Amino acid sequence: MSVARYAVFGHPIAHSQSPRIQAAFAKAQGIEIDYRAIDATPQDFAAALDAFAADGGVGANVTLPHKEAAFALCATTTSRAQRAGAVNTLLRKGERWHGDNTDGIGLVRDLTGRNGLDLRGRRVLLLGAGGAARGVAPALLDAGILELVVANRTPERADALVDAMSEPGRVISAYWDALREQGDFELIINATSAGRGDGAVFSLPLSLVNSLTTAVDLNYGEAAIPFLAWARAAGCRNEFDGLGMLVEQAAESFQQWHGVRPETDAVYAALRERAATLVTAD
């Protein structure tokens, strides 16, 4: 009997913790899987996904920069994927892919469950308008935030995300270079890849921060360091990276593939310990 094949697609992808997470979930549930990381450029993504399916692939996660492309390749999608216009979870149904987006619920579960935040009534600044931002925006609105301000270095992308949310007045776009005019926020989310690369520095107006501000980077590991360094310097009350969100969205994907939602606390704790060990070793 062959082992079911799963994968995570991205570019780059060597840093991904998804294989480690899914393997831990499967072991805890007594399920045998073959889950691997597949690096595919944007030009090669569709062909790589076809090859994976032809080789027996039945489910996949999708990360930067393929989430919007994955949405376009699906024959069917969930309502939350449709709202986002982006997909991070694929399930093979017959000869076609079914797509979902678990990023948003993963973020909300991490912030409200693991970290005890109440998102209701908060002004939120969302930095970025790509697949990651599109994935979390609907769930933030459903969690009861007061207002969502979307800022992107390409204004047209921010406007497109705002239009897709269909909540005029509650979701608005802002020019990146004019952020200091937007007042302060209780939650600032970095959904850009601006922190990637050696020597990267993240700079935002300090006026965005108030005494309650929580800063969240959807990246984790080294990619999250510049934004979180800015958040600490700006005096944010809390700073979180995207590791907790990663584990929670992975659990949602696992549930769709295997019909059971795994416990996440032990896997999250193990990843945190491993990350701390790696930093100490450096």
Binding positions for shikimate: 16-18, 63, 88, 103, 220, 249
- What gap in Å lies between CA 274 and CA 268, rounded to an integer? 10
Sheet order of strands, 89-93 included: 33-39, 4-10, 57-62, 89-93, 96-100, 76-77
Q: Which residues pair with 256 in a beta bridge?
A: none
- What gap in Å lies between CA 153 and CA 164, rounded to an integer? 18
Phi-psi region of 69 (alpha: psi -120 to 50; beta: other; left: phi over 0): alpha
- Given the residues 5, 67, 80, 134, the one annotated as active site: 67
Within a 13 Å sphere around the CA of 264, how many CA atoms are in the beta-carbon half?
Answer: 21
- What gap in Å lies between CA 24 and CA 41, rounded to an integer? 28
H and E: helices and strands count for the chain? 10, 12
27 noted as active-site residue: no
Q: Which residues are annotated binding-site positions? A: 16-18, 63, 88, 103, 128-132, 152-157, 218, 220, 242, 249
DSSP character for 188? Answer: E
- What gap in Å lies between CA 149 and CA 24, rounded to an integer? 37
The count of other CB atoms within 10 Å of the CB of residue 39 is 14
Sequential DSSP letters for 131-148: HHHHHHHHHHHHTT-SEE
Give the alpha-carbon dihedral of 164, 165, 166, 167, to 10 degrees. -150
- What gap in Å lies between CA 225 and CA 240, rounded to an integer? 10
**What residues act catalytically?**
67
